[in-house]
Amino acid sequence: MTSQNMPSEENAIDVDQTDNSIATDTVAANDSVANIHVSADNGIDLAVIFEPYFRPDANTIVCGALDDKKVAALAKAGVELVINLQPDDELSFDEASAVEQAGMHYEQLPISGAKELKQLKILAFDNVLRQHHGKKVAMHCGSGNRVGAAIALRAGWLRGRKMDTAMERGRSHGLTKLEQEVHNRLLVPR
């Protein structure tokens, strides 16, 4: 090694310092994204209100089951449409009335579990999303998992996305426990 290629002490990088800098930059970037969403949500910090909470883009909110307080928060945050994938037997209150009284549109497309992740349900889901394209939408089920599954199947079956892309879309929208089921369904040509 020539003296030109040898690192000098003054040019040497402290690995711990670099790792700390990267971690600080990542936290700052995440905080920045969170602040953008809070300002876009009329000052409402939805991440504090909802658990689970996924925010794949500025106009899409994915969360678990709703109650009156959560419906009010979504309305204050400027949500225009609530899509509920829970069947009636999972609901603890009259969600449709609460959402409509809060001034939002409401669509219920019940998916009880893996057995109902069928192409006709995904087509209906796609139709609702297309009708409200560009609107601020909150989609939910009990945990976000069925929403993520529906998004992944929509991406794969209806949008022709590759397996990895469809699965990543699903995960960004809450797909967890149904991941293997969704993967298996995407393997079957439609």
DSSP 118-178: -HHHHHHHHHHHHHTTTS-EEEESSSSHHHHHHHHHIIIIIT---HHHHHHHHHHTT--TT
Domain co-membership, 53 together with 118: yes
Show pLDDT as tens, one digit a residue, over the chain (190 residues): 444 444 444 444 444 444 444 333 433 334 444 555 666 799 999 999 999 999 999 999 999 999 999 999 999 999 999 999 999 999 999 999 999 999 999 999 999 999 999 999 999 999 999 999 999 999 999 999 999 999 999 999 999 999 999 999 999 999 999 999 999 999 987 6
Domain co-membership, 25 together with 72: no
Query: How far apart are alpha carbons 96 and 106 in whole angstroms?
Result: 6
Residue 6 is assigned to a structural domain of this protein: no
Domain co-membership, 74 together with 163: yes
Domain co-membership, 34 together with 70: no
> What is the pLDDT at residue 12?
45
Domain co-membership, 78 together with 95: yes
Domain co-membership, 121 together with 31: no
> What is the pLDDT at residue 36?
52
Give the domain range for residue 93. Answer: 44-187
Residue 33 is assigned to a structural domain of this protein: yes
Domain co-membership, 38 together with 117: no
CATH number at residue 58: 3.90.190.10
Domain co-membership, 35 together with 91: no
Residue 104 is assigned to a structural domain of this protein: yes
> What is the pLDDT at residue 134?
96
> What is the pLDDT at residue 188?
87
Total of domains in the chain: 2
> What is the pLDDT at residue 33?
47
Domain co-membership, 51 together with 61: yes
> What is the pLDDT at residue 29?
38
Opening angle at CA 47, ends 44 and 48, nearest 5: 80
Query: How far apart are alpha carbons 167 and 11 in whole angstroms?
Result: 43
Token reading at 62: 């994915």
Residue 7 is assigned to a structural domain of this protein: no
Q: Quote the radius of gyration of the chain (alpha carbons, Å).
A: 21
Domain co-membership, 66 together with 80: yes
